[in-house]
Structure formats: C-alpha cells, structure tokens
Amino acid sequence: MSLLKEPDFGTPARSGEATVELTVDGVAVAVPPGTSVMRAAAQAGLEVPKLCATDSLEAFGSCRLCVVEIDGARGTPASCTTPVAPGMVVRTQTEKLGKLRRGVMELYISDHPLDCLTCSANGDCELQDMAGVTGLREVRYGSGVDAGANHMDLLSDTSNPYFVFDPAKCILCSRCVRACDEVQGTLALTIEGRGFDSKVSPGAGGTFMESDCVSCGACVQACPTATLQERSVVELGMPTRSVVTTCAYCGVGCSFKAELRGSGDSTEVVRMVPHKDGGANEGHSCVKGRFAFGYASHPDRVLTPRVRDSIADEWREVSWEEAITHTARRLRAIQAEHGAGAIGAITSSRCTNEEVYVVQKMVRAAFGNNNVDTCARVCHSPTGYGLNQTFGTSAGTQDFASVADADVIMVIGANPTDAHPVFGSRMKKRLRQGARLIVADPRSIDLVRSPHIEAAHHLALNPGTNVAIVNAMAHVVVTEGLVDRGFVDARCENTGEWEEFIADPAHSPEAVEEITGVPASDVRAAARLYATAGNAAIYYGLGVTEHSQGSTMVMGMANLAMATGNIGRSGVGVNPLRGQNNVQGSCDMGSFPHELPGYRHVSDGSVREVYEQLWGTPLLDEPGLRIPNMFDSALDGSFRALFVQGEDIAQSDPNTGHVHAALAALDLVVVQDLFVNETAKFAHVLLPGTSFLEKDGTFTNAERRINRVRPVTAARTGKQEWQIVCEIAQAMGYPMHYDDAAQIMDEIALTTPTFSGVSFAHLDAVGSVQWPCTPERPEGTPIMHVDGFVRGKGRFMVTPYVPTRERSNRRFPLILTTGRILSQYNVGAQTRRTANVAWHPEDVLELHPHDAEVRGVADGDRVELASRVGSTSLRARISDRMPVGVCYTTFHHPVSGANVVTTDNSDWATNCPEYKVTAVQVTPSTALTAAVPAQEETTVGAGRG
Amino acid sequence: MVSDIVVQFAHRPADDAAAAIAAHLTRFWHPRMRHRLVAAVDAGADVDPVVVRVARMLSPAVPAP
C-alpha cells in the first residue's frame, strides 16, 4: 500500500440529514444543518485553502486563508466558521480571494525559516502546500531574518523522547493547543503572551516534559508544519507507504497506520499514526500506541529457539525443527508417564484470535484434555461470569461511541485516563459537554478533578466494599420508587426475589456506611443521579473484578442497570474496560477450561460434536484446570508440563512465591514470548514469538470490535506463532495445518455462531465488525440487548455482600491496592524497552501523608512493603490521592515485584485473584529488591472457586 | 475453597444453596477437584453442613480423577 492520506474536510461532520442545499463554485451539494461552508465545499470535491482548520477540531477562524465569497454576504467570511444556509451560493476561487490569500501567506512566510529542502516536514507540510496552492511567488516583506523582527532564534524543546518542538517554525494556528483541549482533553498547552510575543507554551512556560503533557501525539498530528515533529521522522525522513493495523496494548484496540520506509528486510517503521477510520479511536492515540513500538526491534528480542534440560543449565540455541520435535516428544513422554491430563497450556490476551484459537485446539485435540486457561483468569473472568448470568453473554453492552450519548457516567474501579487513555479522552469530551460523573474508587483518580471536569460524586469507598456500595445504590433505587417499572416488567425476571432482598434495610446506605466509609448521603445522591438524570452508563475495570466478590459485583452493576432501564440503547449499558488488547478475543476463542469457542460449555454434546467432526477426535466433556489449579497441581505432582503463550505469569500472577514454586516443580515449561521474561527463567524451551508488527490476524477489543492485525514486516523469527503451535501438535501426532491465518478465522467463523461470516476478506472490505455477527447483521451489533436480552429476559441476581477474608490488623494495618500507569503496560516487557521509562523508571508506593508521617517516611524514601505472603522494597511517594489507611503501587517492574506481596485469595466464582486488597505494613528500608520466597509449602485442597 | 462459595449462597435455604453450589462446581471445577472435595467430606472433614449436602449431590456423578 502507498502512503495513506485520509481526506481532511476541515471541520467536523455534523449529524443529521443532509437537508441544506447550496452551490459551491457552481457545484450543488447538500449537507446537514450546522455544517461549515468549508466542509460543504470539501464534500463537493472543492478544497478551500486552509491552515488553522482540520476536521478533528472545531473551527477556529484564525488563519484567514479559507476566505470565500458568498452571494449576498458582505466581505469575505472564513469558510471554516461560516455555517451553510439553504440556497447559499459560494465562490472559493476568485481573483480577489487569490490576492487576499497570497497576502496572508506573505505574512506567514515573512516569519518562517525558508529551509524547506532540509526541513523534516518536507513533503508533509501544509504551509508548503498552501504556498503552492495560493501561487505565492514573492514575499514583499522579505523572509526569515531579512524581514526584521522574527521568531527564528526561539530555541527548540527537545525534552520529550518522542517528538521535538521547534517554535521557530510555528505559525500560531493553535491546532496543537486545540488538539490538546478538544481531542485529548488534557489542556496542557496554551498560547502564552500577546501579539507578536504570542507563542505556544506547554504549561506555565516550562518544557513539554515539565508540563501536564501526556505525550498522546495529538498535537504532533495536528501540527501543519515541522513545529511539532516526531523524532523518528527527523532521523529517518518521511515514510513512503502505510499498513493499517491494530495496536497491541490496551483493550481499546486503536487502529493505526504504520508508516514505513523500505521494503522486505529493509522495512523500517517511521511512525505510527492513528487511523481516522478506526472505529475504536477515530484518529486519536496515546503515548504507548503512538510511540512505544520500539520494543519490536529491541536487541533483547529472542529470535532463535532455545532449549535446556534443567532451569539451572545454560540455554542452547537450536533449530525450529529441533525445538518443535523436542517439545512434542517431552509432552508425549510426560503424558505417557503421568497421564493425559498432566499437561496444559495458558493462552495470551496479547496474541491474535487465530493464535489463541490454535492453542486451545492443540490442548483439546492434541493434548486430549481441557487444561487450557487464559490470562483473563486474572483480570476479567468475573465479567464473563457476571454478565453471562444476568444478560446471557460474556461481553460489554455498548460500543465506545455510545458514551457520547450518556448523561451520567459512573466509573467504578477503573482509571481510564491512565489505563484506557483513548477511551478516557472520549469520556472526558462528553463530560466537558455536561454529562455528570460518579466515580467509585478508593483513590482520587484524575477524573475526580481535572481541567473542566469534576465528579459530581466521588464515592471513596474502602477497598473490598464494592458490593456493599452497589447494593446500597440499588436499595435507594428500589425503596425510593426509582425503578423503571416498564422496563423491568417487560424485560427482566427474578425481580420479586431481588427487590425483596435489596429493599432490606441492611442494604441501606446508612447501614453500610461504616463498612464502605462513604457517607450515606453521598450514596443516596449518587443513586438518585444515576437513576433519574437520563442515559446512565457504567464503565468499570479491574477494580471491580479483582476482588473476592468480583463476579458478585459485576452482577450487582447489571442489576442496577436493569432496574433503572439503562440497557439496550446508546448512552447506557454496563461496560468492562478490558485490560489487554485481546482479552475479549482470547475469551471468545474458547480459552477457558470449561468453554469451547463462543462461550459454549464443554458438556454441551451438540457443540462438542461440531468440533469432534471437524477436528476428527473425541473431546472431553468435563472442565479442565484453571491457572491456580495448575499451580496447585504442579506442587502436588499431578500436573507436570505447561505451555505458556505470551504471558509472564511469574511476574503478573499473585503470590509470586507460590507461582515460582509451582513453575519450578514442573518437568517441562515451554514459553512462547518475545523476550526472556520472568517466566522464561523457569522454562526448558523458549520459542521466540512475534511482535504485533509481524502478526497476521485479528484482535477483538472491549467493544467486541474485531480488527485486522496486518503484518508490517516479516516475522523476525521466521515463523508465525500459530505455525509453531500447529507444528507441535503435528509432531505430537495430531494433524493440524493451515495455509495461512485467514484459514483459521474461516474455521472460527464456521464453528462459532457469533462470528458468522467473519473473514479477513470481509474485514478488509468493511474495516471492522462488532460481534455478534449473523447472516442478517454481517457488520455486527454495536449495541447489545436492544430488543431483548441474549438470554431472553435479563435476570436479577441476589448479591449478598460478603467481606473479604483479607483483613488489616495491627501487624498489617494498611490495605494495598494495585493498578497501572499511563506510560507503562502491565509487566512492562514491552514498555520498559522503550523511551517510556522516562516517565516511570520504577514502581513507587503511593502513601497518604498521614500514613507516611507516622512511619517516618518522607517522599522518595525507600520503604519495605510487607504482607502475609512476602515483602518487597519500593520508593515512597507521598500522595493526597490516597485515603488514610490505603496505599497503592503498580506492577510494571520485576525488580520491585509488587505481586510478591499479593495473596492468592480470589473471586469465589472464577478464581480471579484479589489483587486489589492486600493487608500490608510499610516501614523505612534500605533494601533494593523483592524478597521472593524460594519455595512455599502448598495447601492442597478442594480447589478454590 | 468451597467455603468461599458457600458463604455467597448463605442467603438461600440449605437445599437450594447446596443444589446451586453443586451445579456451579460441576460446571466450573475440574473433576479432580470435585473428587477431592467428596473424598474430604467422606473422610469426615470439619465442614459446613451445606458442603456435606453438596458432596452428596456430587458423589454419584464425580468421575474418577
């Protein structure tokens, strides 16, 4: 593909029917009311010259280049700020307009360095383009330093690792400032000074890195000159071609144009540019997706397979053939000695649907058991359980665009501006327009109070009391007569039992105030707002699911949404913000030990029969082992070999000591990954994986959107990951072959009703689809449960609050909760190998000033963080975001190993770990690393959950 | 631990709770885990009476580990 340049219509589209008819340069065009003359002209195929206008931003009217003549109107109005009117007659090209535009251009050029041939934006500069379009041939005032007073000596700001700011090239169009305001919503940039002294300024006159800038790149993208330019473009030059693909970081699933130079082995990624047609992101990005892709070419990449007999041995590089044969032989040998059920696999939410599908197929068909689980076990498995019980499907209800129709947004246990930043920007845009906000979170996250946004209610609940809060809100709804009786009567069941339960005074805000720590009046006010202010939407994250009652809380939120009729239309719903790029997809693909693809239980004979016929082998009808069961079984000796696809369980899973002991007990650990991660230290076989830039397949994001992942470069390892899995299965004696990844998706579509008709060709044709896809709706279903729930009627579930077993006491008086930060991603395997470390070089422990003071801890001090299961050392950050008695850290760096202290308590229904509640003590320390117990006695019981 | 599940169903009559828990364990637990639960109850483990009912419901159907 050549370099893809999307059309720029100058101003944003307006919704509605195209009822306003006008003519532009004699061309008739009809557009919706409120459309600008500039956009109408563009839709008529006529480009009006412009500099300060771009269609991602509202019109500004500063550059005066887009002037037009309109019959009956005085003067030459700016077409960007002039709305269309019926019968309007517009001229965009006249001699008078030409003179005006050249005059404007002369002024711009008189204060601009004329170094076009050596400028990094040469060939991609709108100022250069407009000089050509307007026919500029002379600058009467002179140019550059010859023109008198100028801005040529302003110094560049090179503080940001990804882009440079050269104010000498700035034309003060304010596109960067407006992009930061309107698109990103951070408001980090401003125009400082007046008149000739005006200049773009990050914050209060400091550098970009000193400012509130979040490096989303929106300003760089909006800049029409080389003022804000990617360092990679400065260093490498302009890209020459594009490949549209999907980001591999969070569950937003942004579409990007990978802009490239060279071909074949010489291909270089110059930059990643967010794709305007991407349904999830619509042209926006964050610092990770836009800039942090350098890990794909990092020297730490493992490119050749490695094996070793013992984890105490050195690695030995081997051929693919030897690695695959060795792996297959060892797996079969272990099965021969210990039984077919002694081996299993963990799939990755970082990998494509196709890669995940073949791993679960390998387990079920070649291993002959159902011992396959996925990292969603430790993040959103309660979402699958809870939404399935209540609504009948294991997925969120809305598309991302739905938030634009929300009147009330309730964010529970999520921090979208850090963890899902592009959706966070969408949300902030709606909040700036006036939607009301309820935040339920122990921490004062950015959304609670940030520029132009303030939560109507911040329910700063005690960790572990989510269910008590959601029950209290539902209690208010039911007892104050706020139930949407029409919706509930027509569309829900089990209503009577639930209403009787929830109306019990034990669930009133007053009764649970002491438990939750939230004033009853706040809970009542929040409940009334949620129930009565129009469209109310719930967005939640791991602060909901990673609790001992994660599944109960998901059902509690579903109850609240059903009781108030906030399901089945735009602007409402219950929406999980998925952590990883393909959490939704990995679950869809049958990664759980009890489910075949499409969330169909293994005990369903009719479903098994479909696969048994296609795969040519009988399948087990009983659930396999979950990840925690695998660990426990490894320690009791009944589970002996594990294939780990693209996950770093040794760092990401809770109670690190227990996980390490389990991994060390296995006879065979096979790791498929980009790097020698923490889990690979326990591996006997290391199979090099491919980065997202090398993959060919699909990811499914949190809104059920199936997006294409297209290979930008060839696999640096020489093999796609799905090929390796197939070859292992074949070497084990089970025939498994596909010509390409498209064939795998064809098999998925053939066997999974909700993926009906999905294929690479279809996705290439329509861009993306949101499952469920049916023959009647081949482009999918953006909003679910519109006319009825997937399970028929929505089912109210009784949700008693049960306190977690994890309690603070005198020895461990604080509660630790964990989360993510904007610049880093999960275990950091990717982002730690990029310049993103500039923002977060180490994990820190956030403490309330009081908790720090009583411990004699000052900001920046190193402290020991100890729980009942382990201890580690981090630097302290004193933060008034934290409530007294609660501390917080991230888990991006293995050196601090936050999960050394987290326990193996878990959700009762799904075993999702309770990362969010750990009783700890914090003391001053001089230690530098985590203290991981080398071995741990295991408690072999009847399993958990 | 099965006791973590039992407390989630404490609001229901014992027979209902036991049936719901048994159904949950059948749907989500590996047979080996169910087998161990039944064996522990058979061996006289000190457990909630609901767990005993669950074990009785599971016992005929639990496949060998």
DSSP A208-242: TTTSS----SHHHHH-SSSSEEEHHHHHH----EE
Which residues lie below 8 Å from residue A331, measured CB to CB, with a gap of 6+? A343, A367, A641, A643, A668, A728, A732
Q: Chain B partners of A501 at a C-beta cutoff of 8 Å?
A: 11
| pLDDT score of A146 more than 80 | no
Distance from the Cα of A904 to chain B's closest Cα (Å) equals: 11
Q: Does B29 touch chain A (CB under 8 A)?
A: yes
Which residues lie below 8 Å from residue A702, measured CB to CB, with a gap of 6+? A251, A252, A253, A396, A400, A420, A423, A575, A576, A577, A578, A583, A584
Q: Can you tell me the distance from the alpha carbon of A114 to that of A146, in angstroms, rounded to the nearest whole number?
A: 11
| pLDDT score of A234 more than 60 | yes
pLDDT digits (tens, 9 = 90+) for B15-45: 999 999 999 999 999 999 999 999 999 999 9
Q: Does B8 touch chain A (CB under 8 A)?
A: yes
Closest chain B residue to A600, measured at CA: B27
Residues of A with CB under 8 A from a CB of B: 341, 501, 548-549, 552, 593-594, 601, 603, 622-626, 629, 633, 638, 798, 800, 802, 805, 908-910, 940-945
State the maximum Cα–Cα separation within chain A, in Å, rounded to a whole number.
91
Q: Chain A partners of B1 at a C-beta cutoff of 8 Å?
A: 941-942, 944
Q: Chain B partners of A800 at a C-beta cutoff of 8 Å?
A: 8, 10-11
Interface touch A909/B24, C-beta < 8 Å = yes
Nearest to A800 among B10, B24, B65 (CB): B10
Q: What's the average model confidence in pLDDT over A552-577?
A: 98
Number of A/B CB contacts below 8 angstroms equals 67
Among residues A269, A164, A272, the alpha carbon closest in space to that of A223 is found at A164
Interface touch A908/B28, C-beta < 8 Å = no
Two tokens, residue A118: 């050596």
What is the band of A930 on the pLDDT scale with cuts at 50, 70, 90? low
Q: Can you tell me the distance from the alpha carbon of A748 to that of A755, in angstroms, rounded to the nearest whole number?
A: 7
pLDDT digits (tens, 9 = 90+) for A584-638: 999 999 999 999 999 999 999 999 999 999 999 999 999 999 999 999 999 999 9
What is the band of A899 on the pLDDT scale with cuts at 50, 70, 90? confident
Q: Does B16 touch chain A (CB under 8 A)?
A: no
Candidate from A124-138, A144-158, A350-364, A516-530 with smallest mean pLDDT: A144-158
Q: Can you tell me the distance from the alpha carbon of A360 to that of A362, in angstroms, rounded to the nearest whole number?
A: 5
pLDDT digits (tens, 9 = 90+) for A826-836: 888 999 999 99
Q: Chain A partners of B11 at a C-beta cutoff of 8 Å?
A: 501, 798, 800
Which residues lie below 8 Å from residue A194, measured CB to CB, with a gap of 6+? none
Which residues lie below 8 Å from residue A810, measured CB to CB, with a gap of 6+? none
Would you give the DSSP letter of residue A856?
Answer: T
Q: Does B52 touch chain A (CB under 8 A)?
A: no
Q: What angle do CA A872, A875, A878 make, to 5 degrees?
A: 125
What is the reported pLDDT for B65? 59
pLDDT digits (tens, 9 = 90+) for A34-89: 999 999 999 999 999 999 999 999 999 999 999 999 999 999 999 999 999 999 99
Mutation site for B-interface testing, chosen from A385, A551, A626, A908 by largest number of B Cβ within 10 Å: A908
Distance from the Cα of B28 to chain A's closest Cα (Å) equals: 6
Torsions phi, psi for A390 (to 5 deg)? -95, -45
Beta-bridge mates of residue A171: none
Distance from the Cα of B8 to chain A's closest Cα (Å) equals: 7
Nearest to B29 among A623, A633, A798 (CB): A623
Q: Can you tell me the distance from the alpha carbon of B54 to that of A808, in angstroms, rounded to the nearest whole number?
A: 32
Q: Can you tell me the distance from the alpha carbon of A129 to that of A932, in angstroms, rounded to the nearest whole number?
A: 60
Strands, E, within A406-496: which ranges? 408-412, 436-440, 449-450, 453-454, 457-459, 492-493
Nearest to A944 among B1, B8, B31 (CB): B1
Distance from the Cα of A834 to chain B's closest Cα (Å) equals: 40
What is the band of A445 on the pLDDT scale with cuts at 50, 70, 90? very high
Q: Can you tell me the distance from the alpha carbon of B63 to that of B48, in angstroms, rounded to the nearest whole number?
A: 23
What is the reported pLDDT for A945? 30
ipTM score over 0.85, yes or no: yes
What is the reported pLDDT for A936? 34
Distance from the Cα of B58 to chain A's closest Cα (Å) equals: 13
Q: What's the average model confidence in pLDDT over A234-248?
A: 97
| Other beta carbons within 10 Å of A191 | 13
Q: Does B46 touch chain A (CB under 8 A)?
A: no
Q: What are the distances in angstroms from CA A453 to CA A424, A430, A432, A433, B25?
A: 12, 10, 6, 10, 46
Nearest to A942 among B11, B36, B63 (CB): B36
What is the reported pLDDT for A204? 82
Residues A430-467 as b/e (b if ≥16 CB within 10 A, e otherwise) read bbeeebbbbbbbbbbbbbbebeebebbbbbbbbbbbbb
What is the reported pLDDT for A931? 52
Q: What's the average model confidence in pLDDT over A200-218?
A: 94
Tokens 């990679």, residue?
A232
Centroid of chain to Cα B19: 9
Q: Does B30 touch chain A (CB under 8 A)?
A: yes
Contact A545, A381 (CB under 8 A): yes
Q: Chain A partners of B37 at a C-beta cutoff of 8 Å?
A: 942-943
Q: Chain B partners of A603 at a C-beta cutoff of 8 Å?
A: 27
Contact A538, A575 (CB under 8 A): yes
Interface touch B33/A942, C-beta < 8 Å = yes
Q: What's the average model confidence in pLDDT over A161-177?
A: 97
Contact A358, A724 (CB under 8 A): no
Q: Chain A partners of B10 at a C-beta cutoff of 8 Å?
A: 800, 802
Interface touch A629/B30, C-beta < 8 Å = yes
Which residues lie below 8 Å from residue A312, measured CB to CB, with a gap of 6+? none
- Residue A86 buriedness (CB in 10 A; 0-12 / 13-18 / 19+): exposed
Reduced to 3 states, what is the DSSP secondary structure of residue A492? strand
pLDDT digits (tens, 9 = 90+) for A514-544: 999 999 999 999 999 999 999 999 999 999 9
Q: Chain A partners of B28 at a C-beta cutoff of 8 Å?
A: 594, 623, 909-910, 945
| pLDDT score of A179 more than 60 | yes
Nearest to B4 among A341, A548, A601 (CB): A548
Q: Can you tell me the distance from the alpha carbon of A198 to that of A200, in angstroms, rounded to the nearest whole number?
A: 7
Q: What's the average model confidence in pLDDT over A484-494?
A: 98
Candidate from A717-726, A901-910, A936-945 with smallest mean pLDDT: A936-945
Q: Can you tell me the distance from the alpha carbon of A49 to that of A133, in angstroms, rounded to the nearest whole number?
A: 7
Mean pLDDT of chain A: 95
Q: Chain B partners of A377 at a C-beta cutoff of 8 Å?
A: none
Two tokens, residue A238: 């302009």
Percent above pLDDT 70 for chain A:
98
Which residues lie below 8 Å from residue A439, measured CB to CB, with a gap of 6+? A410, A411, A412, A445, A447, A448, A455, A457, A458, A459
| pLDDT score of A437 more than 60 | yes
| pLDDT score of A416 more than 70 | yes
What is the reported pLDDT for A942? 29
Q: Can you tell me the distance from the alpha carbon of A412 to that of A398, in angstroms, rounded to the nearest whole number?
A: 16
| pLDDT score of A104 more than 90 | yes
Q: Can you tell me the distance from the alpha carbon of A640 to that of A630, in angstroms, rounded to the nearest whole number?
A: 9
Nearest to A622 among B5, B31, B40 (CB): B31
Interface touch B37/A942, C-beta < 8 Å = yes
Distance from the Cα of A712 to chain B's closest Cα (Å) equals: 40
Q: Chain A partners of B29 at a C-beta cutoff of 8 Å?
A: 623, 943
Nearest to B4 among A341, A603, A945 (CB): A945
Mutation site for A-interface testing, chosen from B28, B38, B51, B52 by largest number of A Cβ within 10 Å: B28
Query: Could you tell me whether strands A436-440 and A457-459 are parallel, antiparallel, or unpaired per DSSP bridges?
Result: parallel
Distance from the Cα of A804 to chain B's closest Cα (Å) equals: 9
Helices (H) and strands (E) in chain A, counts: 28, 38
| pLDDT score of B59 more than 90 | no
Two tokens, residue B40: 């522990």
Contact A817, A846 (CB under 8 A): no
pLDDT digits (tens, 9 = 90+) for A647-666: 999 988 888 999 999 999 99
Interface touch A633/B32, C-beta < 8 Å = yes
Q: Does B36 touch chain A (CB under 8 A)?
A: yes
Closest chain B residue to A906, measured at CA: B4
Angle between helices B31-42 and B14-28 (to 10 degrees): 140
Q: What's the average model confidence in pLDDT over A812-816?
A: 97
Q: What's the average model confidence in pLDDT over A805-825?
A: 94
Among residues A457, A591, A462, the alpha carbon closest in space to that of A527 is found at A457
